Structure 1
Amino acid sequence: MQYRKSKMFLSFMNFWKVTALLIFIAFQSNAQSTHVVRDEDGRHVIPRGFVVNTNDGAGELFYTPDDYLRMVRMGANYQVIRLELGKLSNFPDSELKPEYLLKLDSLVELGKNHGIKTVFKMTVYSVKGFSWEDFYLNKGGEQETYVEAWKTIWHRYKNNVAVKGYDLVNEPRKHDMDISYVDLTNNHLVPIYQKIIDEYLKIDEGKLMYCQAIFMNKGDAINHNQYAEITRSIDRPNVVFTPHIYQNKKQWIRPSMLRFVKEAELQNGPMLVGEWGYPTLKTTDTSISDQLDYMDYYMHTVHLFDSLGVGTIKAWFSGNRVMQDFLPGGPSTWAIFSDSTGVGTVERKYITDIIARPYPQAIAGDIHTFNYDFSTRILKVSLATASNKGASKIFVGANRHYPDGFTIRIGGELLLIHNPIKNAGLEMLKNTGGWEMGNFIWDEKSQQLVILKWPSDKQELTLSIEPGITRKSL
């Protein structure tokens, strides 16, 4: 009996060792391949940001420069703007509205002015009576009408480097169609993606094509995740697999993410978690125990994200003007602010402190691994430098994570500190590697550490940010 228990224990441990190895290999291979996101300067970028809605069901949403600065101070370098198909197309009771295009221009410009890149995501909620079955079967030219809406966007932002790409179909549904998810995906959804991308390539090239899976019907799921599997390559350039994950059970997060890794590899490109974060119940705002539970599975989720090196987009950067009522626990929302306004300022800290964790935003070179430990408040980054690709940026979030100051260590060569009491930027305590102090900038406004230039090329480095101000130079 003891032998059987020991054997079972060893099998269990071997399973987790293999799982951990797969995660490590996935991240390591990504850092050395094209399966990472790079900006126009060739820097390795970790996209992180928010879904920006133009409408919340109660009316239009409007954003200010202060809202975008708040995004930056939460670590955002990307925004995903939800497009309203009803204001961009000729579907029934829909029309192209020029004033809506001007609104989109303003959001892109606000992002650009704050160092935030834009991805547009097409949603169908504003088209009354939209039929997914008609769309898949193209009964009345629905696909062509849909593509025409995209063409308006493609032409408008063709030469705008602040727009990184297009999330082509948001949460496609199956509803009552008499077809398997596999057949619906392989025989309809993937060909539609190919058709849309082919039309895009007639107008432009170089933007990223973000592609999602089928959102499964209520009661259907794979490992408790309500998104069907894509088992066929879309076979087009610049495809980014863009899964959503809304999960409050820790044991099901890892199986879903490992499945997503395989689906991204099938598309021969990177992965962006296009939406994540279980909805907030209204009652959570007034319960400490519920908030602690919420933080627990959120931290578990983001640790896995970061171990895989993937970008993530959190829903939603908005206030609490509207709540939905589809969960057993009562009214809920994805809003990160609790104000009963369109765009709020009162943070749900049990959400935002986890979203706004420190991380390497853009590195001139390759990011191998990174991890922020919530218990110790230590960020560790392993990287290889590229001295000719510009500045590197690390989001620190000192205002919420390091009110006691922080220490920067790079290998055994460099030691810097930031003392918030002195308000004097960065101070150097140790430098044995020929580092130039002028290349290190603490940007208080954006809460970023900026490294203007690495001293050498293709150098393997370990960088850490630690709480408190060390008084020792060794």
Structure 2
Amino acid sequence: MNPAIRRPLVALCAMLVLVIVQAILDPTGLLALVGWSGALPAFDRGLWPVAPYVVFVPVLLGITWWTAARAGDRYWTLVPGLVLAVLLAQAATVLAMTGDLALSAWAAGYVTAKAIPAALIVAGFARRLGGPTDRQRRDPGSVWAPALLLAAVAPLLAGLWGTAPVYAAAVPVARPDRGLLSTLVAMALIAVATALSLRWMRSRVPGVLGGWLAAIVAGAMVGVVQALVATIADGLQGDLWPLMSAYVTVADGLSFGVCVGWIAGVGALVADRLREGRAARVPFYAAAGVAVVALLVSVVAPYAGEAAAEEQAAAASIPSGFLRANGGIISDGDGNQVLLRGVNVNQLVDFYAPRADVPTTWPLTEDDFTGMAAEGFDVVRLGLSWSALEPSRGTLDQDYLDRITQAVGWAKAHGLYVVLDMHQDSWFNGATPDGTFCRPGTDSMWGYDGAPAWATITDGAPRCQFQGRDISPAGDRAFQNFYFDTDGVQTALVETWGRLAELFRDDPTVAGYDLLNEPGFGETAPVTTSLLLGRFYDRAIGAIRATGAPQIVFVEPSILWSGLGFDSGPQPGFTHDANWAFSPHLYAESITMDRSLGIAPIVSMERQFALAQRVADAYGVPLWSGEYGYWGDAADRVARLDRYATLEDQYVLGSAYWVWKQACGDPQGGIGDVGDALVPQDCASGEGLPKRDDLLKILGRAYPQSAPGAVYDLSASDTGFSMKGTVGEKGCGLRVWFPGPAEPSLEVTGITDLKTTLVTGGWFATGCAEGDYSLATK
């Protein structure tokens, strides 16, 4: 057979076999090029359920044939060609699902971990079985003109590239919002890398494809440089972050080359034609002109002042007494920063019961709030269940609403704020039905908590877990249907949030609303975890604001943040509302995947704080950690909590520890001898055990519940306490908690009217501050 036919045919067949084999072997549908989770076909919901089959596969096979025919003479030219096939198929699929060009380009990089192994395997078969090759070397033609052209347009086409937490301030990125220097350096890197790649690739692969593949290689090269800079900027901390950072930057570079590299290919052909016509300078001047335009764009931000004015106006419209997001801090509207530190309460959550005779929760009583206040906490993240709140569609359960209202009232009586958290774990509380066949690699599972049955659309996907509860074909498909609003299930939750917010719109005890706990990634991240999650948040915020509720909205990234220690999350600009906070769960070195696998941390605890703050700063909103803790055995837990507390003070961060009480029947803790919480339970007797004073000593350390202006330095330990803040005009909202029976002996600067008051569990120091001020124990 003619090698010109044989080689692409071998590549095509090898790719098709790989797709089929992966679909059979992958029990979740997430790890394969084209997965099948066991869900039944859904042809009545538009293109998204079938796009992986009717878009991804044809594009993948078509580009595989083309690149094998044009670049298959050499293994290392065919590999980037097959990477092009996979990433371009992903981009086309996402575009068909969402119609969003920018997201589609960025989403291409999400399959890099699938694309590179597939490309290496298929290229090996093509070279081995594809017949003889003709390795001609050609004149590479024009190099610098197309390289400069690609670099020049990069800032105009940057889209979503370079927005993840991996991009430290020092990392050069060709995005106008990163500043002139960053843009210039990144453009120079792109130009040099593209020129080098063009010289090598175009001498081996002719036509537009040669320039396109050169841009893909160049994108990967730029990603490597960015990763090296990020490693230097972020430092080495004994975790795997440098590798993760390198993966993300290279994936972004590959997606950039795949989606816009054709510009280099077309530019190279045009430059060659012009050079043949003795007009070599024309493309250079054209590229230079585009570069000037790009640079002008990079230094012009006409909307910045308008956005700032809009945020200021939004903050001013919030009634006095309500907490609000004020730039990078949470404040009370009277000029005081408020530090929300407390615990999660899961006693209203509707959990699955592994054993009917073992209760899943402890009854919630006023004594719980008395106890939390006595530890110095000022906030409760109160977990709610949609399944209990709206068991029948369109009707909120009044008894459950009364329990929520009662809990908020208890919190108010004891000086605690409440964050209402729409809790879910693995989407719903259904377990694996009897008789379910779980494919090899997955296991039957318990249910957990979350959505009502009427809002759980699994399309027959099996309820079987893979490496934990959060990867389940049934749960993934249920989340996918939620994100695409199948049968209006997302709309229903949006409306429910509106009705719940209406109930508490006039109560400043409610600090805010946490819209969805640890959202799942569905089947197509980042379509789900970025674009569609952001759309849900924006819709829910709109419903809350339509009722007149002014409280803060707490926005979480997807479950990937809790599992990996980082995530991308909704893109900046997903909402025009200014009163929201970024609320990742800082579980580094705890429930992250590395811990369960017994490997080095993917992200160290110290690193995760820095990454979370980086993302919050990029959003321009406060950071608040809605969950943390759960660090294994007792000794390990105390040591790690002590590290967390030091970092929490260093970042002047508020957060809520998991968890106040956990009953022995809670499926999250399993059924053992002792419930795992600050207030443990003896599972044999069902009675409470002594509180974990070793943990509460750290959690209940001294801290400012409110402080005039903003606190910029904070530390607390067994040896003492100190804080520094600054405020423009004199404010009298200073309120500092000190635990224990001994009255604190304090020394201050810039503080007047200092007073200490004995309360249950400790002392409050109050006073007024002006200018730069400080307070410390003697």
TM range (shorter): 0.7 to 0.9
Give, in angstroms, the shift of residue 187 of structure 1. Answer: 2.3
Partner residue of 1:136? Answer: 483
Greater Cα shift, 306-315 or 40-49 = 40-49
Matched, 1:201 2:545: yes
Give, in angstroms, the shift of residue 55 of structure 1. Answer: 3.5
Give, in angstroms, the shift of residue 46 of structure 1. Answer: 0.7
Separation of aligned partners in 1, 2:537 and 2:410: 30
Residue type at the aligned position of 2:571 = R
Give, in angstroms, the shift of residue 349 of structure 1. Answer: 2.3
Partner residue of 2:636? Answer: 293
Find the residue that maps to 1:449 and give its secondary structure: strand
Residue type at the aligned position of 1:170 = N
Partner residue of 1:26? Answer: none
Q: Deviations over 1:12-41 (max 9, x none)?
A: 9986699xxxxxxxxxxxxx9621111143
Q: Which blocks of at least 5 consecutive residues in structure 1 are unaligned?
A: 1-10, 19-31, 285-290, 414-432, 467-474
Q: Deviations over 1:225-269 (max 9, x none)?
A: 2x5322611333212100012233787112222111122123221
Partner residue of 2:768? Answer: 453
8 Å CA contact 1:230–1:263 kept in 2: the answer is no
Separation of aligned partners in 2, 1:182 and 1:331: 40
TM-score norm. by structure 1 comes to 0.74
TM-score norm. by structure 2 comes to 0.46
8 Å CA contact 1:320–1:337 kept in 2: the answer is no
Partner residue of 1:21? Answer: none
Cα 1:171–1:325, aligned 2, differ >3 Å: closer, same or farther? closer
**How many aligned residue pairs are there?**
392
Find the residue that maps to 1:256 and give its secondary structure: helix
Matched, 1:230 2:569: yes
Cα 1:363–1:105, aligned 2, differ >3 Å: closer, same or farther? same
Note the aligned Cα RMSD (angstroms): 3.3
Partner residue of 1:155? Answer: 502
8 Å CA contact 2:501–2:549 kept in 1: the answer is no
Cα 1:443–1:325, aligned 2, differ >3 Å: closer, same or farther? closer
Greater helix proportion: 2
Matched, 1:127 2:433: no
Structure possessing the higher radius of gyration over alpha carbons: 2
Matched, 1:214 2:558: yes
8 Å CA contact 2:589–2:631 kept in 1: the answer is no
Partner residue of 2:664? Answer: 321
Residue type at the aligned position of 1:450 = A
The match for 1:410 among 748, 767, 770 is 748
Greater Cα shift, 196-205 or 112-121 = 196-205
Give, in angstroms, the shift of residue 156 of structure 1. Answer: 0.5
8 Å CA contact 1:56–1:322 kept in 2: the answer is no
Partner residue of 2:365? Answer: 64
Separation of aligned partners in 1, 2:669 and 2:365: 31
Separation of aligned partners in 1, 2:512 and 2:706: 18
Residue type at the aligned position of 2:680 = S
Greater strand proportion: 1
Partner residue of 2:584? Answer: 243
Partner residue of 1:423? Answer: none
Alignment of 1:37-186 (within 5 A): 37-53=330-346, 54-55=348-349, 57=351, 58-59=359-360, 61-89=362-390, 96-124=396-424, 125-129=449-453, 130=456, 131-175=478-522, 177=523, 179=524, 181-186=525-530
Residue type at the aligned position of 1:305 = E
8 Å CA contact 2:738–2:744 kept in 1: the answer is no
- Higher relative contact order, structure no. (Cα contacts within 8 Å, ≥ 6 residues apart): 1
8 Å CA contact 2:361–2:662 kept in 1: the answer is no
Find the residue that maps to 1:133 and give its secondary structure: helix
Give, in angstroms, the shift of residue 408 of structure 1. Answer: 1.2
Residue type at the aligned position of 1:308 = Y
Q: Deviations over 1:436-463 (max 9, x none)?
A: 5xx4122232523232434xx32x2221
Separation of aligned partners in 2, 1:17 and 1:408: 39
Q: Which blocks of at least 5 consecutive residues in structure 2 are unaligned?
A: 1-229, 238-324, 352-358, 425-448, 457-477, 591-600
Q: Deviations over 1:157-190 (max 9, x none)?
A: 1111111210011111125x1x2x3332222111
Cα 1:242–1:357, aligned 2, differ >3 Å: closer, same or farther? same
Residue type at the aligned position of 1:148 = E
Partner residue of 1:471? Answer: none
Cα 1:39–1:117, aligned 2, differ >3 Å: closer, same or farther? same
Greater Cα shift, 353-362 or 342-351 = 342-351
Q: Deviations over 1:34-80 (max 9, x none)?
A: 21111143311111011122147425543333321221122211111
Residue type at the aligned position of 2:581 = V
Separation of aligned partners in 2, 1:343 and 1:44: 40
Give, in angstroms, the shift of residue 321 of structure 1. Answer: 2.9
The match for 2:775 among 441, 451, 463 is 463
Cα 1:132–1:17, aligned 2, differ >3 Å: closer, same or farther? closer
Separation of aligned partners in 2, 1:186 and 1:444: 45
Runs of 4+ in 1 over 4 A off after TM superposition: 11-18, 323-327, 330-334, 341-345, 385-388
8 Å CA contact 2:662–2:676 kept in 1: the answer is no
Separation of aligned partners in 2, 1:255 and 1:165: 27
Cα 1:165–1:240, aligned 2, differ >3 Å: closer, same or farther? same
8 Å CA contact 1:324–1:331 kept in 2: the answer is no
